[in-house]
């Protein structure tokens, strides 16, 4: 009887969001949190909370620090941006979208997640919902976060408040697959929570809702999406090393193999960014806790993490073979971001290559039209160049930014010492450098 009353109370509370008597708070306004907060704010009253004060100041000016959204995306929204926990008043639904990084030993660093959870625990009221969107290993929501909320609030999950997990699938730089256009997985600590959370997200997501059978299932679903991709890229990287020894081009092999209807077409490359290179470590950590050695996942990570050094060794070998002196050599790297046409440099692996080359005394220029010079200096202690200057002993196309895709051969010939040595990680200049030294993954 008591549970029924609480559940009725919770349904009423969801209604109160629709009537704008109560609010939704989104904690963490980065790549994931900001689009989500603004989408909800088209319909409901939203509080956008972030501990980064300078980010909040930019948001007040309708500027997205992640450079994904335009100022028009802030129009016609009912949202207050704040970094004061005291502003988390009249909130009914808390949504957590803070980072879930790894530390220097590749162990999950739950500090932001647990800190945001603590913020919520201090202001939580009966009938509230807490929904996690940050990518975590199965069990993190219920085993790591809920106990903190219960301790700080003195309330009990299920009886007093509800919890859910709904992973985010947006892809930075993708203007087509945006939040309303991506099918959303939702989960809840009980049926009532599941239905209400499904209704809430269903009101902003046009692509549909998948109701997962439990919070752990939803957590696992997200983490294996990225793990599957990581392992498949690792396979392609391994094949690339092998095909290089055999003397055949990986991209040509893939083109041929992809003519089969069920061939999963993934290309080799450096795996950086906040998700694919990080999330599998959450799963290997969980596996380790359960005394299970996740062999394939761990091998995939090891291969992908080694790729920047493999690349550096190749560059050094080719410079040497071309009869050039390493300590006087100059290398141009085109692209600093972790993927094409975005400014995101988080966990960009090319700087591992850069540092390895520098350790041989090689001068390295990194050019990127999208990345911030300040951020690159701060994160990688490297001075980004806006344009190539002078002549180079080797050139590396690292990122497929549009600006780098259609450059004529004469351009590269003009900025190269002889012989011209070109490393094409993306395989886009195949058949262009026929009279030069060309290498692709």
Ligand X SMILES: NC(=O)c1ccc[n+]([C@@H]2O[C@H](COP(=O)([O-])OP(=O)(O)OC[C@H]3O[C@@H](n4cnc5c(N)ncnc54)[C@H](O)[C@@H]3O)[C@@H](O)[C@H]2O)c1
Residues that bind ligand X (CB under 6 A): 27-33, 49-52, 55, 66, 97-100, 112, 115-116, 119, 134-135, 168, 170, 172, 274-275
88 vs 332 by CB, closer to ligand X:
88
Question: Is 405 a residue of the active site?
Answer: no
> Please, what is the minimum distance in Å from the beta carbon of residue 118 to ligand X?
8
User: Residue 162: what are its φ and ψ, rounded to 5°?
Assistant: -115, 155
C-beta separation of 255 from 107 below 8 A: no
C-beta separation of 359 from 349 below 8 A: no
> Please, what is the minimum distance in Å from the beta carbon of residue 195 to ligand X?
24
Distance from C-alpha of 108 to C-alpha of 282, rounded to nearest angstrom: 6
> Please, what is the minimum distance in Å from the beta carbon of residue 226 to ligand X?
8
24 vs 29 by CB, closer to ligand X:
29
First-to-last C-alpha distance (Å) of the chain: 64
C-beta separation of 264 from 254 below 8 A: no
> Please, what is the minimum distance in Å from the beta carbon of residue 361 to ligand X?
35
Distance from C-alpha of 196 to C-alpha of 81, rounded to nearest angstrom: 25
> Please, what is the minimum distance in Å from the beta carbon of residue 101 to ligand X?
8
Residue 115 structure tokens: 């800190």
C-beta separation of 312 from 357 below 8 A: yes
- Counting beta carbons within 10 angstroms of the beta carbon of residue 148, is it exposed (0 to 12), middle (13 to 18) or buried (19 or more)? middle
> Please, what is the minimum distance in Å from the beta carbon of residue 105 to ligand X?
18
SS3 for 199? helix
172 vs 269 by CB, closer to ligand X:
172
Please, which residues have CB within 8 angstroms of residue 364's CB and are 6 or more apart in sequence? Answer: 330, 331, 332, 333, 354, 357, 358, 382
> Largest Cα–Cα distance of the chain, in whole Å?
84
Distance from C-alpha of 172 to C-alpha of 149, rounded to nearest angstrom: 31
Angstrom distances, CA of residue 365 to CA of 327, 371, 384: 14, 14, 7
36 vs 197 by CB, closer to ligand X:
36
Q: Which of 2, 145, 275, 405 is catalytic?
A: 275
115 vs 321 by CB, closer to ligand X:
115
> Please, what is the minimum distance in Å from the beta carbon of residue 440 to ligand X?
27
Q: Are strands 184-188 and 162-165 parallel, antiparallel or unpaired?
A: antiparallel
C-beta separation of 147 from 110 below 8 A: no
120 vs 398 by CB, closer to ligand X:
120
Give me the residue whose beta carbon is nearest to ligand X: 30
DSSP string, 82-126: ES-GGG--SEEEEEE-----B-TTS-B--HHHHHHHHHHHHH--T
33 vs 188 by CB, closer to ligand X:
33
C-beta separation of 316 from 274 below 8 A: no
Catalytic positions are 275
């Amino acid at each position: 009887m008591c549970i029924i009353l609480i559940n009725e109370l919770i349904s009423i509370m969801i209604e109160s969001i629709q009537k704008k008597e109560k609010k939704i708070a989104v904690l963490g306004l980065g790549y994931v949190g900001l689009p989500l907060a603004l989408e909800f704010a088209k319909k409901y009253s939203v509080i956008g909370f972030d501990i980064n004060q300078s980010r909040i100041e930019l948001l007040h000016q309708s500027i997205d620090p992640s450079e994904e959204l335009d100022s028009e995306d802030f129009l016609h929204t009912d949202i207050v941006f704040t970094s004061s926990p005291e502003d988390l008043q009249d909130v009914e639904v808390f949504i957590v979208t803070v980072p879930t990084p790894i530390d220097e030993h590749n162990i999950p660093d739950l500090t932001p997640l647990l800190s945001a959870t603590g913020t919520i625990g201090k202001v939580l009221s009966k009938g509230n919902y807490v929904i996690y969107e940050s990518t975590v290993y199965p069990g993190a929501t219920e085993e790591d976060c809920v106990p903190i909320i219960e301790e700080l609030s003195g309330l009990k999950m299920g009886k007093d408040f509800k919890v859910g997990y709904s992973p985010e699938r947006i892809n930075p730089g993708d203007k087509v697959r945006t939040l309303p256009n991506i099918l959303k997985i939702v989960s809840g600590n009980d049926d009532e929570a599941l239905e209400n959370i499904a209704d809430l997200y269903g009101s902003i997501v046009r692509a549909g809702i998948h109701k997962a059978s439990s919070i752990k299932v939803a957590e696992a679903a997200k983490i294996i999406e990225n793990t599957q991709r990581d392992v498949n890229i690792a396979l392609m990287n391994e094949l690339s090393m092998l095909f290089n020894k055999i003397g055949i081009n990986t991209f040509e092999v893939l083109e041929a193999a992809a003519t089969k209807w069920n061939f999963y077409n993934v290309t080799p490359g450096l795996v950086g960014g906040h998700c694919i290179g990080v999330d599998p470590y959450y799963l290997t950590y969980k596996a380790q806790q359960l005394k299970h050695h996740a062999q394939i996942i761990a091998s995939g990570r090891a291969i992908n993490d080694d790729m920047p050094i493999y690349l550096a060794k190749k560059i050094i070998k080719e410079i040497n073979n071309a009869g050039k002196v390493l300590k006087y050599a100059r290398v141009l790297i085109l692209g600093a971001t972790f993927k094409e046409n975005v400014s995101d440099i988080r966990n960009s692996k090319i700087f591992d290559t850069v540092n390895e080359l520098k350790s041989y005394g090689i001068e390295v220029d990194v050019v990127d039209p999208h990345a911030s010079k300040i951020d690159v200096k701060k994160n990688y202690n490297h001075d980004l160049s806006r344009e190539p200057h002078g002549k180079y002993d080797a050139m590396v196309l690292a990122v497929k930014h549009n600006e780098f895709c259609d450059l004529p051969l004469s351009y590269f010939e003009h900025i190269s010492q002889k012989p011209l040595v070109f490393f094409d990680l993306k395989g886009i200049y195949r058949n262009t450098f026929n009279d030069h030294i060309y290498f692709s993954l």
